[in-house]
Structure 1
Amino acid sequence: MKDINRRKALGMTAAAVGTSVFSPAYAQSLNKRKIAFTLLFAPGGDVGWDYEHVRGLEQARAAYGDRAQIDAFHEVAEWGNGDKEKFQELVDDGYDMIFTTSAGYMKSTIEVAQANPNVIFESCAGYIRAANVATYNTRWYEGRAVEGFLAATMSKTNRIGYVGAYPIPQVIRGINAAYLAAKSVNPDIVFDIAWLNTWYDYEQEGAVARQMIERGADVLMQHTVSTAVVEAAQEKGIYSFGQGSDMSHYAPDAVMTSMINNWGPYYVQRIGEFLDGTWESKDTWGGLGAQMVAMAPLLETLPSRTVLQAQDVIARLSSGEEHAYTGPVRLQDGSGWLAPGETASDSRLLTMDYYVDGISSVYPSEG
């Protein structure tokens, strides 16, 4: 019905303005499918969560610009009804495929998708699928394992500061993976974890990072969006890691590497399938091996032995020879979780709401 109404409206427009609108170029534009991306923040910037999604959708534009109109919509609120209203607005505006690029959009994505079964949705970091809703994410916890190895190797104080956004599974997975990798290098390593309850707050991120440094942290990790944490590390002469993008140009002496979300290949593939009529609802969770996660170049001043060891960790995670979650692993409360040699299933990872044994920080209460 939506497509019929669109054709009817276009026909009325043609009648009103004359037959000149039916030039070959105009006729081709009528056949383009409309694809939308909803993003959290204002446009601009050269790092971060949205930046990598924009890079990805631009790759899709380059691949399918003659077949699809691909648009980005910024500052779509993650909580409340703002996202739901925006998704429905996009449906009403004739968008055939909508990528909702944050975990907080999941509930509204499902609700709007159920009401509009002829529109395709792709839910980033979501875990609820439907016939017209696919889910996708990157296994960035693999990148966190690399960072954890480097953090423990380079720390002299045995104290790592970790600035987290929200205590949700995708963030918890990264903390636990980093800690397990760090502990394998140095059993005495301590993680100082702080929660901000926001993805982006430059001032707060920087303030918390400096407090961690005052408490003795000499390596900082983050699962927040801004560059404040790496800048604090640069200012204080300690090490850090970029989040989601290569942040080394903001802290050239501090950033040992950055975990990069590489969305472009996925967007090119899935939009191509949609345009060709072969799209199917499925869950995609790609890591280093699938090149959906990449590690930025290692800091040149790192010891050569450390560089070689880190490259080996990356290679083993990429090949599947090593899994970031391999037993024996116990939980913070002392209960058994993974037996020796056992690896964590995706279902366990997707619902992770606990710390592993050895993390001394108190697990945050819900809400």
Structure 2
Amino acid sequence: MSQLNRRDSLKTLAALGAAGTLGGLSSVAQAQKPLTIGVIYVGPRDDYGYNQAQAQAAAEVKKMPGLKVVEEENVPETAAVQKTMTGMISQDGAKVLFPTSFGYFDPHILALAPKNPDVRFSHCGGMWTEGKHPKNVGSYFGYIDECQYLNGVIAGHMTKSNKIAFIAAKPIPQVLRNINAFTLGARSVKPGITCNVIFTGDWSMPVKEAEATNSLADQGCDVFTMHVDSPKVIVETAAKRGKMVCGYHASQAKLAPNAYLTGAEWNWLTAYKTIIDAAQNGKPHPNFLRGGLKEGYVKMSAYGPMVTDAAKKQADDVKAKMIEGKFDIFTAGLKDGKGTVVVPKTLQQTDLELEKMNYLVEGVLGSL
């Protein structure tokens, strides 16, 4: 033990001499032992979708000084994720975890957080509640319905059949919010447009996603978007059918360059940097992070070559208003499919009603 302590002391003194005394012991400790960040994905990191968007942020974090990133992909939303998180904490020394999938939160993050009070858990989703959940747990998410509205504007200009399509996993509030925003964006161009919706039942069901795409193509839909973990199958299937696509999560332009109009993308690096900065500097863990285009949490894919100038102009004008905080998607008087007013007053992005959305607006054909 005395030899080990002596060796450690010499290392510390040498580091102090190199760094200078102004940096203090904390700087030396940080230089010697980087902050370890753990990132966990429910699917492959190169899925052209949800996981790839998170992995893109993690790749940028790896370039930041004083940090070490450990990752594990294809971890199901079961007790398996608890084992992965436990391993990252005990074996890798992770102090900040990004368990990125929706189903990781309850019960898995909530089971481990109280047992590891010195570890910060950041979950992608809207599930953290003050007074109910641990302080070392937080959530981050983006107002990507802004981008889905812009997808809809482009779709409204590009559709010839006035039938657009949305393929989704589950009718949870965030998904319904995206469907509604896409539809409202399209109907801002052509009020008579309808949006046909098929729910596959889960986040990753490639066979059903292909079947849904073909079914909606058969029904005359000519512009597609989606809310599933990996849009790859939908994008490629729609392109093969001669249809157009607005992407989601990350850019899928490489998969179908002649069909890809634009897309709604995440920019998770903004949230990652905020969370990591708090950990590095001893600030309270950010429990509830939200932002849209203005805050840099979401972004649009580049326009495809087939997008018209008129479509670009309207979408760019609306985007500028969103960034200025002068545009609301869900305005007073919106009705559901039965004609009942479901939005009695205009809703801002920060209004909790949007976190609980449980309806489809008029012009959407689909069942809950």
State whether structure 2 residue 122 is matched by structure 1 residue 102. Answer: no
- Amino acid paired to 1:92: S
User: Which of 31, 34, 45 does residue 32 from structure 1 map onto?
Assistant: 34
For residue 168 of structure 1, the aligned residue among 172, 193, 196 is 172
Tell me the residue number matched to 2:20. none
What is the distance in 2 between the residues matched to 1:295 and 1:180?
17
Instruction: Describe the SS at the equivalent of 1:337.
Output: strand
Task: Work out the CA distance in 1 between the residues paired with 2:30 and 2:362.
Answer: 60
C-alpha displacement of 1:309: 1.0
* Superposed counterparts of 1:171-190, under 5 Å: 171-190=175-194
One-letter amino acid of the structure 1 residue matched with residue 231 of structure 2: S
Listed one character per residue, the Cα deviations across residues 189-243 of structure 1 (whole Å, up to 9, x for unaligned) are 2221111223233333223211210111111111121312122222222211111
* Residues 123/342 of structure 1: CA separation in 2 closer, same or farther (3 Å cut): closer
- Is the Cα–Cα contact under 8 Å of residues 169 and 353 in structure 1 kept in the other structure? yes
Whether the 8 Å CA contact 2:153–2:186 is kept in 1: the answer is yes
Out of 201, 207, 210, the position equivalent to 1:203 is: 207
> Quick one: which of 159, 173, 191 aligns to 2:195?
191
Could you give the per-residue CA deviations for residues 251-308 of structure 1, whole angstroms, max 9, x where no partner exists?
1111110111111122123212211111333311111111111101112222211211
Q: Which residue does 1:352 correspond to in 2? A: 357
Following superposition, the deviation at residue 321 of structure 1 comes to 0.9
- 1:6 corresponds in structure 2 to none
List aligned pairs for 1:253-264, cutoff 5 A: 253-264=258-269
Q: Which amino acid aligns with 1:63?
A: M
Query: Which residue identity is paired with 1:151?
Result: A
In the TM superposition, 1:1-367 aligns within 5 A as: 15=4, 19=7, 30-44=32-46, 47-64=48-65, 67-78=66-77, 80-93=78-91, 94-107=93-106, 108-129=108-129, 130-224=134-228, 225-339=230-344, 341=346, 343=348, 345-363=350-368
Q: What code does the residue aligned with 2:330 have?
A: Y
Query: What secondary structure does 2:146 align onto?
Result: helix
Once the two structures are TM-superposed, the CA of residue 27 in structure 1 deviates from its matched residue by: 7.6
What SS does the aligned partner of 1:193 have?
strand
Amino acid at match of 1:267: Y
Q: d(CA) in 1 for partners of 2:80 and 2:359?
A: 30
Per the alignment, in what secondary structure is the counterpart of residue 231 of structure 1? helix
Hey, what's the Cα distance between the residues in 2 that align with 1:308 and 1:184?
Answer: 14
Query: Distance in 2 between the 1:212 and 1:136 partners?
Result: 33
Tell me the TM-score normalised to structure 2 length.
Answer: 0.86
State the SS of the aligned residue for 2:68: strand
Q: Secondary structure at the match of 1:51?
A: helix
Question: What is the CA–CA distance in structure 2 between the aligned matches of 1:28 and 1:22, rounded to whole Å?
Answer: 17
What amino acid maps onto 2:354 in structure 1?
L
Compute the displacement of 1:20 (Å).
9.3
Is contact 2:330-2:346 (8 Å) kept? no
User: Which residue type is aligned with residue 311 of structure 1?
Assistant: D
Shift of 1:31: 2.4
Q: State the SS of the aligned residue for 1:95.
A: coil
Give the 3 Å change call, closer, same or farther, for CA 87–28 of structure 1 in structure 2. Answer: closer
CA distance in 1 between partners of 2:286 and 2:41 (Å): 21
Letter in 1 for 2:40: T
1:95–1:22 CA distance, 2 compared to 1 (3 A): farther
SS in 2 for 1:72: strand
State the Cα distance separating 1:95 from its structure 2 match: 1.8
Q: Normalization by structure 1: what TM-score?
A: 0.86
What is the SS of the residue equivalent to 1:185? Answer: coil
Q: Secondary structure at the match of 1:111?
A: helix
CA distance in 2, matches of 1:248, 1:28: 40
Residue 84 of structure 1, CA deviation: 2.7
| AA matched with 2:73 | H
Moved over 6 A (4+): 24-29
In structure 2, how many angstroms separate the alpha carbons of the residues matched to 1:344 and 1:128? Answer: 17
What are the ranges of 5 or more consecutive residues in structure 1 without an aligned counterpart? 1-10
Letter of the 1:124 partner, please give it: C
Structure 1 position 15, deviation (Å): 4.9
Gaps in structure 2 of 5+ consecutive residues = 16-27
- 8 Å contact 1:326–1:344 — kept in the other structure? no
Q: What is the CA–CA distance in structure 2 between the aligned matches of 1:32 and 1:342, rounded to whole Å?
A: 43
Secondary structure of 1:62's aligned partner: coil
CA distance in 2, matches of 1:286, 1:178: 19
Aligned 8 A contact 1:52 1:244 in 2: yes
SS, match of residue 318 in structure 2 = helix
What is the identity, as a one-letter code, of the residue corresponding to 2:97? I
